Amino acid sequence: MKSVPEPVKPKLFNLLDFDRKGLAAFFVERGEKPFRATQLLKWIYQEEVEDFDLMSNLSKPLRAYLTENCYIATPEIVIEQIASDGVHKWALQTHCGNRVETVFIPEEGRGTLCVSSQIGCALACTFCSTARQGFNRNLTTAEIIGQVIVAQKRLGAEKRITNIVMMGMGEPLLNFDNVVAAMNLMMDDFTFGLSKRRVTISTSGVVPAMYRLTQVCDVSLAVSLHAVTDELRDELVPINKKYPLKELMEACRDNAKIAPRRTITFEYVMLDGVNDSMQDARGLIKLLKTVPSKLNLIPFNPFPNSSYRCSSKETIHRFKTLLNDAGIVTTVRKTRGEDIDAACGQLVGQVEDKSRRHLKLKTVN
């Protein structure tokens, strides 16, 4: 006697996975008008309504369809920490059981949210604690924008998110489509309405994706530089072996053409005796003179079993002065949230390493 196969369950859609363009296409495919996308975005992001039956300007048949086939879900806060300087850090659990970390940095007149794009990271930068955790998978658009939703709800009306930086766990440009869709949502007038100047994506130098980003999404760009020679950068930022400095700087110049007075932010971690000599500073001047740029010097934030030490305050000051005197706008990033491991390079989450690092770099196109 033949067994009767179980009926195939319909795919459920997390509506946070769609930006406005994707959501409009979703509705058109189902015989609805594209303007339903803006209606739904306003309900979810501005009214904070998740019950489809309460979305009164949607037709009853559409509400019934959404109830049956769609849902709205964000990652879940499992740990919350608040540092002595007011920095908030959340460990958020995803559906697969792994965790990512999100950090809110309050400042005078602004609040910056540092958002993760991957569970772990495949790039193996030697000075970064996240790289030690290995790589599990890309975050979905819903899991990326969900970090913003969760953080803003937790912070409440008194602490607003005014800036977002894609500088958390992972390399954003190795999760290109999901990250771009999430950034579109961050800037959409019907969601968070952030200016393109207040949304920044950071990359270690995935050059083909940098050119692609220039074509499809106008956000601020930050580049993790950390060395002025290919020999040292190959060691500190191994993706440099695939996309060396000459190619990286050409991609930066291309991005800077998007708009007048466009500048690229370069990040440079200060490592004692490694990349902090005056010769390194002069190399930076030569390198950055060809690109409209500003430079952030990042004091190295220690983590267990690291072989690096932070450059001295005196060295950092001399380094900064030489660059500023040469016309390179240079600032030293203030270390925030260090007592809860929320500073730059310290985010780890809880990650099961399933990577084949050498394969991950080859998938970029």
What tokens does 220 get? 């601020």
Query: What integer pLDDT is reported at residue 11 of this predicted model?
Result: 78
Query: What integer pLDDT is reported at residue 337 of this predicted model?
Result: 61
- Judge contact between 99 and 350, C-beta under 8 A: yes
Write the DSSP assignment of 179-242 as a string of letters. HHHHHHHHH-TTTT---GGGEEEEES--HHHHHHHHHH---EEEEE---SSHHHHHHHSGGGGT
- Judge contact between 40 and 55, C-beta under 8 A: yes
Chain centre distance of CA 78: 20
What tokens does 70 get? 């769609």
Q: Give the catalytic positions in this structure.
A: 101, 344
- Judge contact between 211 and 231, C-beta under 8 A: no
Show the domains of the chain with their CATH numbers. 13-71 (1.10.150.530), 76-362 (3.20.20.70)
User: In this structure, what DSSP letter does residue 53 have?
Assistant: G
What pTM did the predictor assign?
0.89
Cα separation, 19 vs 316, whole angstroms = 42
Residue given tokens 């084949």 in the structure block: 356
pLDDT tens digits in sequence order for the chain, 365 residues long:
455 455 445 679 999 999 999 999 999 999 999 999 999 999 999 999 999 999 999 999 999 999 999 999 999 999 999 988 889 999 999 988 888 999 999 998 899 999 999 998 888 888 887 767 778 899 999 999 999 999 999 998 888 999 999 999 999 999 999 999 999 999 999 999 999 999 999 999 999 999 999 999 999 999 999 999 999 999 999 999 999 999 999 999 999 988 777 899 999 999 999 999 999 999 999 999 989 999 999 999 887 778 899 999 999 999 999 999 999 999 998 876 666 665 554 455 544 444 443 333 333 33
Query: What integer pLDDT is reported at residue 341 of this predicted model?
Result: 60
